[in-house]
Amino acid sequence: MSRDRGPRRLRRLDRSALIAASLTALSLTASGCMVVHGEREVLPATTRAEAAKALQQFTTAYNAADKAYDSSLDADHVTGALSDIDKARLKAGAANSPDGNPAHTPLELSDAKYTIPKKAGWPRWFLADAAGNKGGSARWLLVFTRGSLDEPWEVAYLTLVAPGNVPEFKQDADGWAEPVPVNSTQLAVTPKDLSKDYSTYLKSGGDTFAPGTHTSDWRALRQKDSERPGLVTQYIDEPLASGDYAPLALRTADGAALVFFTTHHFEKQTAAPSTSVPTPTKDVLALTTGEIKQSLTMEFVSNEVALDPAKGSADQQVTVLGRIQGLTAAQGE
Backbone phi, then psi, for 251, in 5-degree steps? Answer: -75, 135
pLDDT at position 331 over 50: yes
* pLDDT in the model for residue 39: 60
d(CA 199, CA 195): 6
* pLDDT in the model for residue 23: 32
Mean pLDDT confidence for 198-216: 98
pLDDT at position 187 over 50: yes
Nearest CA to 188 out of 210, 204, 166 is that of: 210
Alpha-carbon separation of residue 10 from 14, 16, 21, 253, 275 (angstroms): 6, 10, 17, 30, 67
* pLDDT in the model for residue 333: 97
pLDDT tens string 56-113: 999 999 999 999 999 999 999 999 999 999 999 999 999 999 999 999 999 999 999 9
CB 323 within 8 A of CB 296: no
Mean pLDDT confidence for 276-294: 97
Mean pLDDT confidence for 126-141: 97
pTM reported for the whole predicted model: 0.88
The one-character DSSP state at 152 is P
pLDDT at position 272 over 50: yes
Backbone phi, then psi, for 207, in 5-degree steps? Answer: -115, 15
> What b/e readout covers 301-320, taking b as 16+ CB neighbours within 10 angstroms?
bbbbbbbbbbeeeeebbbbb
CATH code, residues 43-177 = 3.10.450
At residue 2 the predicted structure's pLDDT band, cuts being 50, 70 and 90, is: very low
pLDDT greater at residue 23 or residue 60: 60
CB 157 within 8 A of CB 142: yes
pLDDT tens string 146-171: 999 999 999 999 999 999 999 999 99
**Stretch among 2-16, 43-57, 171-185 having the lowest mean pLDDT:** 2-16
pLDDT at position 216 over 90: yes
pLDDT tens string 225-257: 999 999 999 999 999 999 999 999 999 999 999
d(CA 174, CA 155): 25
pLDDT at position 185 over 90: yes
